[in-house]
Amino acid sequence: MSTAALSRPSAPHRSWFRPGTALAFAVIAIALLWALVPSLFTSVSPTETAAPALRPPSAEHWFGTDSTGRDVFARVVHGASHSISGALIAVLVGLTIGTAVGVTAGAIGRIVDDVLMRLVDVLLAIPTLLLSLSVVIVLGFGTTNAAIAVGVTSVAVFARLARSSVIGVRVTEYVEAGYGSGGSFLGVLWRHILPNSITPVIALAALQFGSAILQISTLGFLGYGAPPPTPEWGLLIAEGRDYLATAWWLTALPGLVVALVVLATNLLSRAIQREESR
């Protein structure tokens, strides 16, 4: 083997340092810092008047001001805690319940698999927005309830992927060897099947995180999320829709932030999938 070949980093190592992946990490890191420590980025209150109404973006107010004079950038920064925490709740709900259903169906098989997968098919047959709206109406409005509703809509997706991964791993030689050496069903499941089938599910969780932000923002835009004056991203976009002709920044800039965060999570998910496929 040539010296050049030996000096090259391995393909999986290189993939994490692609410009797109590095940029995605940066965007997600900034969004997380907004959610955790918004005071590092702005000292302006997101709910109090900071300047005359409908001021365009400037050096003093980066995203301009809204119809009541509140700083839009401050509202976007503080709104990250609501949207991102909601997305985390949604992913945890879908990941926990969906993975449990999928692993149970794939590992046990037979009638248990048939029953659980038919229930999953029923969930998949219901349009995502309709299902989330139905759950929100039952639970009540608010960011947390909207997040739970979005999580319920992703249960079926996680379940199908987890089942498929478990079935693929279940028939491998090392799993058969685990049973042959006297391993119990739960022992083999925990030691051999789960560790070797969970990576695709983690990649899906990263993808669903971005999707959850988008869906929670959609519910907020429709009025099913956090009530005003909470600076939730979907609500911010909705508040500016009456001023599109005169104050474009009220919807365009919060919408751009949502789009960038969603695209960043999608890029991160693809990076995880590339690592898993090597």
Q: Are 153 and 212 in contact (CB under 8 A)?
A: no
Write out the two tokens for 98. 């969906």
Q: DSSP secondary structure string, 68-109?
A: TS-BHHHHHHHHHHHHHHHHHHHHHHHHHHHHHHHHHHHHH-
Backbone angles phi, psi at 71, to 5 degrees: -75, 120
Q: What is the dihedral of CA 241, 243, 246, 251, to 10 degrees?
A: -40
Share of the chain above pLDDT 90, in %: 53
Q: How far is CA 154 from CA 65, 96, 224, 266, in A?
A: 36, 10, 18, 16
pLDDT exceeds 70 at position 24: yes
Q: What is the DSSP letter of 226?
A: S
pLDDT at 207 (0 to 100): 84
Q: What is the dihedral of CA 174, 175, 177, 183, to 10 degrees?
A: 140
Lowest pLDDT segment from 55-69, 70-84, 220-234:
220-234
Section 42-55 average pLDDT? 90
Lowest pLDDT segment from 2-16, 22-36, 56-70:
2-16
List the domain boundaries for the chain. Answer: 17-46+67-277
Model pTM score = 0.84
How far apart CA 167 and CA 270 sit, in angstroms, is: 23
Summarize pLDDT for 183-202 with one digit per residue, the tens: 676 777 777 778 878 888 88
Lowest pLDDT segment from 82-86, 159-163, 192-196, 257-261:
192-196
pLDDT at 17 (0 to 100): 63
Summarize pLDDT for 210-248 with one digit per residue, the tens: 999 999 999 999 888 888 888 999 999 998 888 988 899
From its phi and psi, is residue 186 left (phi > 0), alpha (psi between -120 and 50) or beta?
alpha
> Per-residue confidence at 258, pLDDT binned at 50, 70, 90?
very high
CB burial string 28-44: b at 16+ within 10 A, e below: bebbeebbeebeebbeb
Q: Domain 17-46+67-277: which topology?
A: MetI-like fold (1.10.3720)
Summarize pLDDT for 109-121 with one digit per residue, the tens: 889 989 999 999 9
Backbone angles phi, psi at 65, to 5 degrees: -125, 160
Q: How far apart are the first and last CA of the chain?
A: 21
